[in-house]
């Protein structure tokens, strides 16, 4: 999601234009904590050891008809602003500065100075297996409704050392140290996999953090999340920044957490090392991201990075909106939602998605479209897939459950970018899901503090763009899906199996032999009314306040151990190891 506050400020690509002072201060506070000499040296040596890439200014000046994301104006003021933003990024994300922060953190918390390995899997034992009867398991779950890869079936599930090692017909008599018999109204599901979450720690922990986000996820049946590279400070654009983020996550996570890397101007030399250190792919923006420490790529830079990722078979995930279309759209200011909607036209998505498709075609790289909102783009996406491009697409609960026609004036909890659109658009997105054009559903949980939502004034042009819904995704989609006659099995594929497959999480997303025993006990017919104050994410705001939903997660298990919401037992996962 483009996460930004909105003024006009050049509209160079902003979902809402320029940043509020709070955002600038957050980045500057960290950047200025280093000595001025260190920041200066970092700027001068940014590209040491690697060929000097073409500067963003040079790229922007090229008269290339292929680039659909060039700003409308290339005047001196634009270049000055771009230089300022790149300077902020260079200072905040400087590897040497971050190494200093890592050393300080380790000293402050009494940690070894060298990098340590992650903790072992929750539920693992020193012995590895139980001695004696090989029919005895750590955990056995029995029930009439077990969501297997072949659909709902009456089964007994045996778990040992955090893995599913037995899946037998109900009545087989599996014996476990612990046993759970499902109630008649309960269904056992594989834990959900949410590959699009903004946790924001370190740096903006008043917005969200690992403890609160992963509690919310677990309460909603999500057992694995992948954290986005921006809104934390520093951004995850080099290996020291990744290591620094892992320090904060390692003792706070109630579920498994992995990380995306970031692709920004000038960090191509860091992409392979981030890949080797276990990120699941790389996120970029084709317009202003909302925070200056994570600048966007121009289309030619996107192509260059796609070609680089192709060399080691990594995935580029793209926030696809076109700044040129947004530049020419109406201004978003005011409390009328329709005005904001017109400031983020479908054409902005359509142009940028077309750009991603063609650049992926030219390079042969793997690409993924984030948070699809415009149904207009479905035909070209389907065509690209038919052509054999390695392209996937996600959408989010807010685009599948909310309607622009029903958003009250001033209700900035609903603001996100791209925006919630009209009823006809929503229906076409559902059709795209059902026919497979859209591959899966993720939350794009993108929280902020209450004041950044401008609740007092309700100005959509000022409020931060982001929806908080990590805990509610399954209930939201199930409520809407069952009304359409869509089976729970399809929902699980969209929210667990398929996102796990695209991210390369080989032991996640299925209730099957050899997979992690990440499980959710779900009561599909139990109803509840959303109360933001009872949700686990940090700031009590959600557009679903007072919404009646069907389906409640009653218990969540991570590798066979029940999440107790008191003792974090999640693991930090790496590409290729999970």
What would the pLDDT profile of 216-238 be if each residue is shown by its tens digit? 999 999 999 999 999 999 999 99
In order of 86, 297, 301, 313, 315, the CA distances from 306 in angstroms are 21, 11, 8, 10, 8
Q: Check whether 44 has a pLDDT greater than 50.
A: no
Q: How confident is the model at residue 239 (pLDDT cuts 50, 70, 90)?
A: very high
Q: Which long-range contacts (CB under 8 A, 24 or more apart) does 210-214 make?
A: 210/248, 210/249, 210/252, 210/253, 210/257, 211/252, 211/253, 211/254, 211/568, 212/536, 212/537, 212/538, 213/445, 213/470, 213/537, 213/538, 214/252, 214/253, 214/254, 214/255, 214/257, 214/568, 214/570
Cα–Cα distance measured from residue 234 to residue 244, given in angstroms and rounded to the nearest whole number: 9
Q: What is the pLDDT of residue 77?
A: 64
Q: Check whether 562 has a pLDDT greater than 90.
A: yes
Q: Which long-range contacts (CB under 8 A, 24 or more apart) does 484-488 make?
A: 484/430, 486/434, 488/147, 488/152, 488/187, 488/189, 488/524
Q: What is the mean pLDDT of residues 284-312?
A: 97
Q: What is the pLDDT of residue 114?
A: 67
Q: How confident is the model at residue 78 (pLDDT cuts 50, 70, 90)?
A: low
Residue 565, phi-psi category: left (phi > 0), alpha (psi -120 to 50), beta (remainder): left
pLDDT-wise least confident of 131-140, 360-369, 425-434, 482-491: 131-140
Q: What is the pLDDT of residue 41?
A: 34
Q: What is the mean pLDDT of residues 479-488?
A: 98
| Helix, coil or strand: residue 156 | strand
Q: How confident is the model at residue 48 (pLDDT cuts 50, 70, 90)?
A: very low
More confident residue, 67 or 492: 492
Q: What is the mean pLDDT of residues 378-404?
A: 98
In order of 22, 266, 373, the CA distances from 28 in angstroms are 10, 20, 32
Q: Across-strand partners of 123?
A: none
Report which DSSP code applies to 18.
S
Q: Check whether 74 has a pLDDT greater than 70.
A: no
Report which DSSP code applies to 493.
I
Q: Check whether 38 has a pLDDT greater than 90.
A: no
Q: C-alpha angle 55/464/330, rounded to 5°?
A: 75
Q: Across-strand partners of 224?
A: 193, 256
Q: Check whether 247 has a pLDDT greater than 60.
A: yes
Q: What is the pLDDT of residue 120?
A: 42
Report which DSSP code applies to 419.
P
Q: Across-strand partners of 226?
A: 258
Q: What is the pLDDT of residue 472?
A: 98
The tens digit of pLDDT for each residue in 104-150 reads 999 999 888 766 444 444 333 333 333 334 559 999 999 999 999 99
> What percent of the chain is modeled with pLDDT above 70?
82
* Residue 294: both structure tokens together: 């994570």
Q: What is the pLDDT of residue 343?
A: 97
Q: What is the mean pLDDT of residues 53-78?
A: 39
Place of tokens 């109204």: 185
Q: Going from the N-terminus, what domains does the chain have, and what CATH number goes with each?
A: 136-185 (2.30.40.10), 189-562 (3.20.20.140)
Q: Which long-range contacts (CB under 8 A, 24 or more apart) does 104-108 make?
A: 105/244, 105/247, 106/247
Cα–Cα distance measured from residue 419 to residue 330, given in angstroms and rounded to the nearest whole number: 14
* Residue 111: both structure tokens together: 């940690």
Residue 21, phi-psi category: left (phi > 0), alpha (psi -120 to 50), beta (remainder): alpha
Q: What is the pLDDT of residue 86?
A: 76
Cα–Cα distance measured from residue 316 to residue 285, given in angstroms and rounded to the nearest whole number: 10
Q: What is the pLDDT of residue 135?
A: 59
- Considering the entire predicted model, what is its pTM? 0.86
| Helix, coil or strand: residue 258 | strand
Q: What is the mean pLDDT of residues 375-397?
A: 98
Mean pLDDT, the chain, integer: 87
> Which residues, 6+ apart, have CB-to-CB distance to 365 below 8 Å?
306, 307, 309, 310, 316, 390
Q: What is the pLDDT of residue 1?
A: 58
Q: Check whether 484 has a pLDDT greater than 60.
A: yes
Q: Which helix (H) or strand (E) holds 430?
A: helix 423-434
């Amino acid at each position: 999601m483009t996460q930004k506050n909105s003024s006009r400020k050049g509209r160079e690509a902003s979902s809402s234009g320029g940043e509020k002072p709070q955002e600038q201060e957050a980045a500057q506070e960290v950047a200025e904590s280093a000595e001025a000499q260190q920041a200066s040296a970092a700027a001068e040596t940014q590209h040491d050891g690697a060929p000097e890439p073409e500067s963003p200014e040079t790229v922007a000046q090229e008269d290339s008809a292929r680039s659909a994301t060039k700003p409308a104006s290339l005047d001196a003021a634009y270049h000055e602003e771009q230089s300022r933003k790149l300077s902020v990024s260079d200072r905040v994300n400087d590897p040497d500065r971050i190494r200093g922060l890592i050393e300080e953190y380790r000293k402050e918390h009494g940690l070894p100075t060298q990098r340590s390995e992650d903790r072992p899997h929750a539920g693992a034992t020193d012995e590895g297996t139980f001695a004696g009867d090989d029919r005895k398991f750590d955990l056995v779950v029995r029930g009439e409704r077990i969501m297997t890869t072949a659909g709902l079936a009456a089964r007994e599930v045996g778990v040992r050392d955090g893995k599913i090692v037995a899946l037998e017909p109900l009545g087989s008599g599996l014996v476990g140290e612990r046993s759970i018999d499902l109630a008649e109204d309960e269904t056992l599901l594989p834990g959900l996999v949410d590959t699009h979450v903004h946790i924001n720690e370190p740096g903006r922990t008043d917005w969200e953090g690992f403890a609160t986000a992963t509690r919310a996820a677990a309460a909603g049946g999500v057992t694995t999340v992948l954290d986005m590279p921006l809104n934390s400070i520093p951004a995850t654009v080099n290996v020291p920044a990744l290591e620094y983020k892992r320090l904060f996550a390692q003792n706070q996570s109630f579920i498994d957490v992995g990380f995306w890397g970031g692709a920004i101007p000038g960090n191509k030399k860091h992409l392979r090392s981030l890949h080797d250190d276990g990120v699941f792919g790389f996120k970029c923006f084709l317009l202003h991201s909302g925070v200056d420490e994570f600048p966007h790529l121009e289309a030619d830079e996107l192509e260059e990075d796609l070609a680089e990722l192709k060399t080691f078979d990594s995935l580029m995930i793209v926030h696809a909106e076109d700044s040129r279309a947004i530049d020419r759209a109406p201004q978003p200011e005011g409390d009328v939602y329709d005005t904001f909607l017109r400031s983020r036209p479908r054409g902005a998505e359509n142009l940028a998605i077309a750009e991603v498709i063609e650049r992926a075609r030219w390079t042969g790289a793997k690409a993924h479209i984030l948070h699809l909102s415009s149904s207009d783009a479905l035909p070209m996406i389907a065509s690209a897939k038919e052509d054999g491009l390695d392209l996937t697409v996600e959408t989010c609960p807010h685009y599948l459950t909310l309607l622009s026609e029903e958003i009250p004036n001033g209700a900035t909890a609903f603001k996100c970018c791209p925006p919630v659109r009209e009823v006809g658009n929503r229906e076409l997105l559902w059709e795209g899901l059902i026919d497979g054009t859209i591959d899966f559903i993720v939350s794009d949980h993108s929280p902020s503090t209450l004041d950044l939502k401008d609740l007092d004034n309700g100005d959509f042009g000022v409020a931060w763009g982001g929806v908080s819904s990590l805990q509610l995704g399954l209930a939201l989609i199930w409520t809407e899906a069952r009304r359409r006659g869509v089976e729970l099995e399809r929902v699980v594929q969209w929210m667990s199996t398929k996102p796990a497959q695209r991210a390369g999480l080989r032991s996640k997303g299925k209730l099957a032999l050899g997979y992690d025993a990440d499980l959710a006990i779900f009561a599909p017919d139990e109803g509840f009314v959303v109360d933001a104050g009872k949700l686990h994410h940090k700031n009590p705001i959600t557009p679903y306040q007072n919404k009646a939903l069907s389906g409640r997660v009653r218990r969540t298990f991570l590798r066979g151990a029940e999440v107790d919401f008191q003792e974090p037992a999640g693991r930090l996962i790496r590409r290729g190891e999970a």
